[in-house]
Amino acid sequence: MSWSKLKQHLESFLCPALVGRVEYRATSYFYLPGKSGICYIAVDKKNVFNMSDITTSIRWYQTEQEIKNDPDIQVPINDEEIEAVRKDTKGTVPEDRLKVIARNRKITECAKGILSAQAALSKSNFIVVANKFLSTSIEESLESDDIMLNILALVDRRVGKKRILNMAEKMKLKHPIVQYFYELRRNT
């Protein structure tokens, strides 16, 4: 789905009080292949939640390196993960190297999880999550651990005022940007 169609779908689900206040924006540099696009959510014309491909990849790499270089962080791997690497490499890699590859894959997953929890999402991730939001129920989006799904569900018109007010305790455990959009919706 093109960005303009996706944006149109997402904005059609905004609650009436937030129409015109919450905007989904994206810029792409079509003629500059080395330049990545930026995607962000704006509230009252102010950039509130930024998703930039360039900074995300740099921070992801830095986080991955920090996990690899910290001797206190233990990344356990199990036989299933080693077997998955063996299957992917078609058995051509020595046994000791399989463990290293499996550990590196797990470290990469941990780094992605940390960045996702810190709300550092790329434009491509936003598009994937937005499509997922449009195809799943509102309850799943509200209960999800995904920050973007929570935000999209909180500003959705299908979530009523009573339900928003009843979520106050759950929102205390969520990421600060999710809490921001919860307060925005609660105060409209």
Distances (CA, A) of 123 to 22, 28, 66, 83: 17, 10, 24, 33
Q: Which of 77, 87, 79 is nearest to 108 (CA)?
A: 77
The tally of CA atoms less than 13 A away on the side-chain side of residue 18 is 29
> What pLDDT does residue 154 have?
92
Contact assessment for residue 25 and residue 166, using Cβ atoms and an 8 Å cutoff: no
> What pLDDT does residue 31 have?
55
Contact assessment for residue 37 and residue 51, using Cβ atoms and an 8 Å cutoff: no
Apex 44 CA angle, 11 and 150, nearest 5: 50
pTM given for the model: 0.62
Helix (H, G, I), strand (E, B) or coil at 32: coil
| Per-residue pLDDT tens listing for the chain (188 residues) | 777 888 898 899 999 999 999 998 877 655 555 555 667 788 998 888 776 645 555 565 676 777 777 777 677 888 888 888 888 888 788 888 888 888 888 877 777 766 665 544 555 677 788 889 999 999 999 888 888 889 999 999 999 889 999 988 888 878 778 888 999 999 88
> What pLDDT does residue 93 have?
83
Query: Rounded distance, CA 102 to CA 130, Å?
Result: 30
The tally of CA atoms less than 13 A away on the side-chain side of residue 29 is 10
> What ranges do the domains of the chain cover?
55-117
Burial class of 141 by CB neighbour count within 10 A (0 to 12, 13 to 18, 19+): buried
